């Protein structure tokens, strides 16, 4: 997968994290949209062009990452959209291996890792 046009979608139920990621990525010149949970994100996805990259928080309510991915993967329109998991779990690699995630961002989030994922999949606007 290579760099694609389009916005980066951040799905996280914590306002502070969502805003910090958006601010950080926008400063680097990326277009960013946010959703506050899985259900919210699906609504967004059905009414907007496919994003270039999704950062998905693991633990959310009302729809967590696993529930979101179950719906998301059913739709062929999103088959090419890369998803990166955000998690505090030390054992994130095991979670990532069992699903179609491209990788994971461990909390506390390192800027280098965040930018590495962004630049790998998305092009600044």
**Contact footprint for another protein (CB under 8 A):** 14, 16-17, 19-21, 23-24, 27, 88, 90-91, 94, 107-109, 111, 114
Nearest approach, Cβ of 50 to another protein (angstroms)? 26
Nearest approach, Cβ of 22 to another protein (angstroms)? 10
Q: Identify any residues that bridge with 57 across adjacent strands, giving them in sequence order.
A: 86
Residue 7 vs 13, nearer CB to another protein: 13
For 115, list phi and psi in degrees, rounded to 5. Answer: -70, -35
User: What is the enclosing helix (H) or strand (E) of 103?
Assistant: strand 103-106
Nearest approach, Cβ of 79 to another protein (angstroms)? 30
How far, in Å, CA of 10 to CA of 43, rounded?
14
């Amino acid at each position: 997968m290579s760099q694609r046009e389009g916005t980066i979608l951040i799905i996280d139920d914590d306002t502070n994290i969502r805003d910090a990621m958006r601010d950080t990525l926008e400063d680097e010149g990326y277009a960013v949209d946010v959703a506050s949970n899985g259900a919210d994100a699906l609504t967004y996805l059905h009414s907007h062009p496919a994003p270039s990259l999704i950062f998905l928080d693991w633990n959310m309510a009302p729809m967590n990452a696993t529930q979101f991915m179950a719906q998301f993967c059913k739709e062929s329109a999103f088959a090419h959209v890369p998803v990166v998991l955000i998690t505090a779990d030390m054992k994130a690699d095991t979670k990532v291996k069992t699903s179609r995630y491209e990788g994971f961002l461990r909390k506390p989030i390192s800027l280098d890792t965040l930018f590495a994922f962004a630049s790998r999949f998305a092009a600044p606007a």
